[in-house]
Structure formats: C-alpha cells, structure tokens
Chain A
Amino acid sequence: MEIVQQILFIAALAATAWFITGRVKLIAKAIRLGRAENRFDHADERLKTMLLVAFGQKKMFTNLLVGVMHFVIYAGFIIINIEILEIILDGILGTHRLFAPIITPIYPVLIDVFEVLAFGVLAVCVVFLCRRFIARVSRLQASRHRELRGWPISDATIILTAEIVLMIAFLTWNAADSVLRDRGVGHYGELQGVVPDFLVSQYLKPLFTGFSDTALVAYERTAWWLHILGILAFAIYVTYSKHLHIALGFPNVYFSDLQPKGEMQNMPEITKEVQLALGLPVTTEPDGSQANDNGEQPAEIGRFGAKDVEDLKWINLMNAYSCTECGRCTAACPANITGKKLSPRKIMMDTRDRLEDIQKGWKTNGPDYKDDKSLLGDYITAEELNACTTCQACVNACPININPLDIILQLRRYRVMEESEAPASWNAMFSNIENNMAPWKFSPSDRFNWAEQVNEPLTK
C-alpha cells in the first residue's frame, strides 16, 4: 500500500517537473524575442536594489498595512518551502515526519513557525479577498478597469482561494496527525514523546475527537495529498498566472533601470544619421560602438521604435511576465485618474497577452510561426499612447520596478518615425521646432526680446 503511494507521488512530482520545465523554456523563449540590451552591468548596485526592493519589499511598505500583509504571505511562501522539502522526502521515501527524530529539539519550533505563518497567510488571504469584493479597493475593480475583466479577476480569486485551501489542509493535517499520535495508531504512535502538539493545530484537535481511527487516517492521508498535490498544481498554475511574479520578481528587480527616471534611452542608429545630416564626424555605430571608417554598411537596423514585442527590449518582456496586475501604476497615472483610456497596467498586460498569443501560435503552427497581428494596433491603441504625460508616476509606483513608460515611448517612436502618425498639433510642434527652434510659431530672432523688459516694472 505504502509503495503504491510512493510510486504515485514520484509520478506526480515528475509530471510537475516536466510540465514546469516546458513552461519555463517557452517563457524564456518568449522573453528572448526582445532586442538585446546589457543589463548585466553595475552588479553591486543591482544586487543592492534586489535586496532592498525584492527581498526587502521596500516599495510595498509605502502603505504600511498592505506592506505587512503582503510580507506575511511572502515570508510564508519562502519559509514553507522548507516544510515542503520534508513533505517531498516523506512522499518519496514513504516515511512520516522524516526530520522529527533527526532534529528533535528544533523540529517542533520549526513546525510552530510554519503553522503561525500558515495561519497568517490564511488570514491575509481572507482580508485580500475582502478588499477585492467587499471593501472594493478601486484599483482592483473590473468595473473601473477594463483590463481586469474576465480572466485576470478570476485568476486573482483562484489564487487567493487556493492558498486558503492549502493552508487549511496543512493545519488540519497536523491536527489529525497529532490525534493519531496521541491514540498510538500505527507509525503515528512512534512519534509519541518525540513530537508535541503544535502551536496552532492543537486548537483544531477537538474537531477530530469524534473520528474513528480509520476515518482519521483517511482524513490525514487526504489532507496530506491535497496539500502536496495542491502545491504542485499551484506551481504549474503560477506559470500561466500573474503569480509568476513570485519567481520573476527577483530577476526583474535585479535587471531594473538604473538611470534617472526622466532619462529616455538614446537611439544610436539615429545619432549616426543626424551626424551625417549635420556634416559632423560619425562617432557611433547603431549598436553604440565606435565607428569604423571603412564605410561598411552596419548590420541591419531594425525598426525605429517598436511596433511589436520583438522590437522591444528583453527587459520590457520580462517586465510583462513579472507584472502582478496590482494596478498601483494605474492608480497613480494622471491620465487614468482623469478618465483617459491609458492604463499602464494594461500596457503591461497587453504585452504579456501578446507574448502568450505568440506562444500559442508556436504550439499549433510550429516554432517560427508569426501571425499578422502586432502589439501596436491590435492590443494597444494610439489613443492610449497619446494620453501619456511621461510623468513616471507608474514607474515610481511599481513595487517591482517595472517600467511601463519605456514601452509607451518606444511605441510612440514607431508611430511617429515609421508611420508618420502623430496628432496634427504634434506635427505642427515638430515643424515649429525644426523651423523656428521653438515649439511655437515665433521667429527665432525674437528669442532674446524679453531682455528689453528687464528694467521695466513687473506687472503683478
């Protein structure tokens, strides 16, 4: 009997590993669609940022209460992995609480900590569900934010509910286990005197006093399997969900932008054109390297700006996979606050949707498949792009240093430089700058006229 369980367990483990490996490869391939960009510089600063923002969750604490609640879930997640190690080994070896006799003095302390965290996670998940559906926190409402309609809201609800079920399974399993130990049933009894009652589950023991031994063993086994299969299923599910941030959040922060938020990235391929136009010596190649003088055509220049995901940088695509859809960016966005269609969260979700759609295409039509859609136009509209004030509030708000603005600006570049599609008044502004050296239609020779007024009294 035991051996059957062991075989089933190993099979479940292997299937999960196989599935996740497939997903990870696919996601990695999708991220690699993006253009090259060096984000491996300044390792010290990056490490520091990652410790503060990812491990330390610095930006989550801008709202102390939410910060603390998220921290409980986060700590629970990290620490409960130690417990999962024991569960997995028990599953493979057919043992029961493998570590208990080995590390007897600290074992109960560990389990107590896990139980407190499990209870904390459970409580926080309940509060989070209430925030969504009873307190109706604005940034999480599909009625207010169209990008949340359908799957994203279900995704969030599924995750929170699953976590609650998993934690209940874990706590009641410990309780049933303790009752079986007290009664001295089978191998459970062997832990008498080795393992005491635990901090939280001891209060759940009365629930099981009416159970027969057989029913109790059945419950214990069911809860154990539910807990571990739940975790394995969750691990697979995560790769399809916004919950991928529990893994990608860390590298995403490590590779985040280090330059000042207001700095827009240079386009070296244009520098060369401009240097030629102005009759200046050409100093840079499109890839940013120093020019060689032999007049060779440089390697193929991609599009000016971005039309689809492969024109974006890989970090933009990793950003998209890391986004938790929390909407802090959108809640801070002046355009969104004032009812415009632009939502930086939607920009990130659209980018990810685009990548997932391309992946689906690969699956059905082979690995080089490309449909005729593009991120710009089929997912993100000009109206959204044009509404951005480039205020960087979204960049500042994101707890994991995602930069929606960078994508917006690259798409704008494509519209203006490749499609010549700018609002008419922007075109007028462009031609004013070009002809009058100012965005307005004034004569450049009048630029210094103000100086004639320096000695006049200022009208208040």
Chain B
Amino acid sequence: MTVNEKTYTVPTMADMAASGEAPEILFWVGCAGSFDDRYKRVTIAFVRILNHVGIKFAVLGPEEACTGDPARRAGNEFLFQMQAMSNIQVLNGYNVKKIVTACPHCFNTLKNEYPELGGNYEVIHHSQFLQGLIDEGRVKVEGGQSFKGRKITFHDSCYLGRANKVYEAPREVLAALDADLVEMKRVRANGLCCGAGGGQYFKEPEPGSKDVNVERIEEALATGADTIAVACPFCMTMMSDGVKNKNREDSVRVFDVSELIAQGQGL
C-alpha cells in the first residue's frame, strides 16, 4: 500500500455510534460503488473530497445492502420491499437524517420510494452535494489537473434527470472545471437513456438493430468531446463499453463528475 502524504479515512456508522458521535451525512455507497472495480474509484474520489473539505461523514460499510431498485423495476416487488424495510431498520436504527449517494437509482429509491415504507430522509445526489460545496467556496478546482481547453460533454442519467429533475447540478459542477462544456443532441428532459435502467443492466438486451449505449455514444462522440462526464454507475459502464465498441478508448475517456473534481483538486 502506497501511502500518500495525505491520509484519507472512511468512518463507519457503527464506529461513530460506538464513540457516541453522529455524522453530518451518511454516504450511501451503493452496490456498484462497493463492488464494481471502475466505480470503486468514483467512491474513493468522492470520499477524498469529503475528507478534503472536512465534512463529518460516515458509511454503513458491511451493513449496507442493495436498495432493491433493480428488483422493483424488474417486477419483483416482494424482494424490493424486503430490501427496503431491512435498510430502513438499519437507517432508522442509526437515526440517519441526511443521505448523500453517487447512484441516481439509490437516490431515487431512497428519496421517493422509502418514505411510504417508513424511511424519511433528506436525500441528496453527490452532484448536488458537490454543487453546494462549490457554491459555498469549499471546493475550488485548483492545484490539480487543468481542464482548460478540454471538451467535456455530460450524459444525463434518467433517474437523476427526468425522474427527479436534477439537470443543472452536474452541469454546474462541470462548469467549475473551466472546461469547454458541449451538449449532445438529446439532453436534459429529452436525454437518451444509456440502456441500463429498469434491470436492463442485468440481462442481455432484446433483439434490435443496435444497442442503446452505442446509439448514445455516437451522439456523445459527435460533439467532439474527449471526456464524457457521467453521474451514475450504470451510465459509467454503458458509456465506457460504447467507447470501446467504437475503438475510441485511446482518445475519449469516461469520468464521473466527482472524479473530475478530485482530479482538478489534485486529490
């Protein structure tokens, strides 16, 4: 393990509770953020930002479980509610008030669907949280990589955008990078899905003329951007696969908004 001069820590709720403390926010990591090798880097980038600005946060760690979103959308309501109610027991047990998550699916489910089952929290997507930090001046993009002159395009995730009308926060975060933000043909409320939502990520697509992520990546590449910014683990995989499909992985990279901020800060 190479240790940087800075050391980042990841406290768990259990640790905090044991020492009688309560964090300002709970960072809900999500399954992809915990297990997917690519998305783990996003989790880490976000954790470094949280460390850097000195926010008192905690994660559930091993106590976290899938929110149940893919099960619910695939039609398995029973499994969804089992997950939801167990999670709610844990969250309420720790008296959680405020949750930040980097996954729009977790965000939507925790925010809109848990309340009816007894889980009421203030739920924030990490792009909104980052926007807040930037607005307050707590995050300044300097000291790291410069984005001047680079073309970035943002892919709206359905569960952040259309589902919850969060369109501006990720764009404002990107604006802080001083890069050249270019928009695709279908954006915001008209954005095109990456093809992974509603359980599609977990099965082969139905027969058709092409895969949805290929259609979307063609639109993204048409902007001439060298960086495709995403704010969702599923979009991340689908867009990266699309770039590979087009053999453009040498010239075009896919990053989460929090990774770009972390890079800009040299974290």
Pairwise interchain contact A417-B113, C-beta atoms closer than 8 A: no
B201 to chain A, nearest CB (A): 8
In Å, the complex CA distance between A267 and B7 comes to: 46
Looking at the complex, which one of B158, B163, B192, B206 makes contact with A337 (CB distance below 8 Å)? Answer: B192
In Å, the complex CA distance between A383 and B214 comes to: 21
Looking at the complex, which one of A260, A390, A417, A449 makes contact with B76 (CB distance below 8 Å)? Answer: A417
A-B interface pairs (CB < 8 A), number: 233
Chain A 285-307 interface residues, beta-carbon cutoff 8 Å to B: 304-305
Looking at the complex, which one of B45, B66, B113, B190 makes contact with A433 (CB distance below 8 Å)? Answer: B66
Q: CB-CB < 8 A to A426: which residues of B? A: 74, 199, 202-203
B144 to chain A, nearest CB (A): 12
Pairwise interchain contact B206-A341, C-beta atoms closer than 8 A: yes
Chain A 411-434 interface residues, beta-carbon cutoff 8 Å to B: 412-417, 422-423, 425-426, 428-430, 433-434
A63 to chain B, nearest CB (A): 11
Q: CB-CB < 8 A to A445: which residues of B? A: 62
Pairwise interchain contact A270-B78, C-beta atoms closer than 8 A: yes
Pairwise interchain contact A456-B2, C-beta atoms closer than 8 A: yes
Q: CB-CB < 8 A to A259: which residues of B? A: 112
Pairwise interchain contact B79-A433, C-beta atoms closer than 8 A: yes
Looking at the complex, which one of B65, B190, B210 makes contact with A437 (CB distance below 8 Å)? Answer: B65
Q: CB-CB < 8 A to B64: which residues of A? A: 437, 447
Q: CB-CB < 8 A to B210: which residues of A? A: 338-339
Q: CB-CB < 8 A to B118: which residues of A? A: 283
B170: CB under 8 A from chain A?
no
Pairwise interchain contact B74-A422, C-beta atoms closer than 8 A: yes
Pairwise interchain contact A448-B198, C-beta atoms closer than 8 A: no
B208: CB under 8 A from chain A?
yes
- Chain B residue at minimal CB-CB distance from A263: B112
B193: CB under 8 A from chain A?
yes
Pairwise interchain contact A429-B65, C-beta atoms closer than 8 A: no
Chain B 199-227 interface residues, beta-carbon cutoff 8 Å to A: 199-200, 202-212, 214-216
Pairwise interchain contact A270-B77, C-beta atoms closer than 8 A: yes
Q: CB-CB < 8 A to B8: which residues of A? A: 454-455
Pairwise interchain contact A438-B158, C-beta atoms closer than 8 A: no
Pairwise interchain contact A389-B76, C-beta atoms closer than 8 A: no
B32 to chain A, nearest CB (A): 9
Q: CB-CB < 8 A to A22: which residues of B? A: none
Chain A 378-434 interface residues, beta-carbon cutoff 8 Å to B: 383, 386-393, 395-396, 409, 412-417, 422-423, 425-426, 428-430, 433-434
Pairwise interchain contact B40-A439, C-beta atoms closer than 8 A: no
Q: CB-CB < 8 A to B70: which residues of A? A: 429, 433, 439
Interface size on A, residues (CB 8 A): 76
A262: CB under 8 A from chain B?
yes
- Chain B residue at minimal CB-CB distance from A262: B163
Looking at the complex, which one of A392, A396, A409, A433 makes contact with B71 (CB distance below 8 Å)? Answer: A433
| Given known contacts A417-B78, A450-B34, A450-B43, A386 and B206 CB-to-CB distance under 8 angstroms | yes
Chain B 160-190 interface residues, beta-carbon cutoff 8 Å to A: 162-165, 189-190
Interface size on B, residues (CB 8 A): 83
In Å, the complex CA distance between A341 and B205 comes to: 11
Looking at the complex, which one of A338, A391, A417, A459 makes contact with B162 (CB distance below 8 Å)? Answer: A391
Pairwise interchain contact B34-A448, C-beta atoms closer than 8 A: yes
Chain B 10-43 interface residues, beta-carbon cutoff 8 Å to A: 10, 12, 29, 31, 33-35, 40-41, 43
In Å, the complex CA distance between A396 and B162 comes to: 7
B159: CB under 8 A from chain A?
yes
Q: CB-CB < 8 A to B206: which residues of A? A: 335, 340-342, 383, 386-387
B233 to chain A, nearest CB (A): 11
In Å, the complex CA distance between A96 and B197 comes to: 63
B196: CB under 8 A from chain A?
yes
B56: CB under 8 A from chain A?
no
B88 to chain A, nearest CB (A): 10
Looking at the complex, which one of A263, A383, A429, A438 makes contact with B108 (CB distance below 8 Å)? Answer: A263
A451: CB under 8 A from chain B?
yes
Pairwise interchain contact B73-A264, C-beta atoms closer than 8 A: yes
Q: CB-CB < 8 A to B132: which residues of A? A: none
In Å, the complex CA distance between A442 and B65 comes to: 12
Pairwise interchain contact B61-A451, C-beta atoms closer than 8 A: yes
In Å, the complex CA distance between A342 and B206 comes to: 9
B4: CB under 8 A from chain A?
yes
B85: CB under 8 A from chain A?
yes
Pairwise interchain contact A439-B31, C-beta atoms closer than 8 A: yes
Looking at the complex, which one of A305, A335, A387, A438 makes contact with B31 (CB distance below 8 Å)? Answer: A438
Pairwise interchain contact B193-A422, C-beta atoms closer than 8 A: no
B-contact 0/1 string along A262-275, CB 8 Å cutoff: 11101100110111
A422 to chain B, nearest CB (A): 6
B242: CB under 8 A from chain A?
no
B-contact 0/1 string along A48-89, CB 8 Å cutoff: 000000000000000000000000000000000000000000
B126: CB under 8 A from chain A?
no
In Å, the complex CA distance between A445 and B118 comes to: 27
State the B residues within 8 Å of A (CB).
1-4, 6-10, 12, 29, 31, 33-35, 40-41, 43-45, 47-48, 59, 61-62, 64-66, 68, 70-79, 81-83, 85-86, 89, 108, 112-113, 116-118, 158-159, 162-165, 189-193, 195-200, 202-212, 214-216, 262
State the A residues within 8 Å of B (CB).
259-264, 266-267, 270-271, 273-275, 277-278, 280, 283, 304-305, 332, 334-335, 337-342, 383, 386-393, 395-396, 409, 412-417, 422-423, 425-426, 428-430, 433-434, 437-440, 442, 444-459
Cβ contacts A to B, 11 pairs, < 8 Å = A260-B108, A263-B108, A277-B82, A341-B207, A387-B206, A388-B198, A422-B76, A426-B74, A438-B66, A439-B31, A445-B62
